[in-house]
Amino acid sequence: MSTGVDAVVAFYEGLQPETIPRLREIYAADARFRDPFNDVVGHAAIERIFAHMFEHLDAPSFRVTGCIADGRRAALEWRFTFVLRAHSYEIVGASVLDFDGDGRVCAHRDYWDVAEELYAKLPAVGPAVRWLGRRMSATRA
């Protein structure tokens, strides 16, 4: 992995409320961060996303399980675990990162299936989401 990618992996795998400000060391000041729920630009906005995560989830943790890097672009596979209302959850996803000339992240896009990885696991809406998934699938009856 490149130095920039190594720094990103270390940041996410060690992420705690007190380490959130360290993202300023690895993200460009005008970096764009996008995931299924957020689309923001800049350090302060990205920091708010992670502060919100720690305020609303118990024991959130990222583990990077794979990496492909090519010059100024990288893709990371990851597992995100957390506890919400005494239930443990795991989300499997991937991030595509673009780096600027200084080796800082200038664009970060997370990809994960909200329906499968989150909604289908929630007690209130999970049964309906799973039923719909079975109805839409050509291979699951």
Gap between the Cα atoms of 138 and 134, Å rounded: 8
Give SS3 for 93: strand
H or E element in which residue 110 lies? strand 105-111
- Give the pLDDT score at 68: 97
Could you list the pLDDT tens digit for every one of the 141 residues in the chain? 568 999 999 999 999 999 999 999 999 999 999 999 999 999 999 999 999 999 999 999 999 999 999 989 999 999 999 998 898 999 999 999 999 999 999 999 999 876 666 666 667 766 765 676 677 767 765
The pTM score is 0.83
Domain coordinates of the chain in residue numbers? 3-112
CATH number of the domain located at residue range(s) 3-112 in this protein: 3.10.450.50
